[in-house]
Amino acid sequence: AQSVTQLGSHVSVSEGALVLLRCNYSSSVPPYLFWYVQYPNQGLQLLLKYTSAATLVKGINGFEAEFKKSETSFHLTKPSAHMSDAAEYFCAVSSYRGSTLGRLYFGRGTQLTVWP
């Protein structure tokens, strides 16, 4: 079975401060890991993904995440928060079953607030 735990349902930072959104996963097989962002009244869009290549993954809007197998973590970071980063962020895990990528399991989400 696979699962994702996002620590902290709400994170608040000041504009210009470091953003750190935590994600820990559980998987008995090599995982594929994703971060999605949801802006108010919109669908989800992909920020970045880890697919067993480089452990440090860079995504859109200056976000990056590092896959740490020893810690079973895939935390999302951004050096300097911007007001436009305020949104809900979801971490997700999946894996291959044979030649097919299996079901995607999402965390409960972290709401990021950015203060001016």
Closest listed residue to residue 49, CA positions, set 29, 61, 66 = 66
46 near other proteins, rule: CB under 8 A: yes
User: Given the complex with other proteins, which of 73 and 109 has the nearer CB atom?
Assistant: 109
51 near other proteins, rule: CB under 8 A: yes
Among 11, 90, 112, 114, binds other proteins (CB under 8 A): 90
Helix (H) or strand (E) holding 25: strand 19-26
32 near other proteins, rule: CB under 8 A: yes
Among 18, 20, 60, 101, binds other proteins (CB under 8 A): 101
Residue 41 is encoded by which pair of tokens?
């009244």
Residue 89 is encoded by which pair of tokens?
């962020």
For the chain, how big is the Rg over CA atoms in Å? 14
User: Given the complex with other proteins, which of 72 and 106 has the nearer CB atom?
Assistant: 106
Among 11, 94, 112, 114, binds other proteins (CB under 8 A): 94
All residues at 6 or more sequence positions from 111 whose CB lies less than 8 Å from its CB, including other chains: 9, 10, 11, 87, 88, 89
Q: How far is the CB of 16 from other proteins (least distance, A)?
A: 28
Which residues, in sequence order, are bridge partners of residue 97?
Answer: 100
Binding site for other proteins (CB under 8 A): 32, 34, 36, 42-46, 49, 51, 90, 92, 94, 100-109
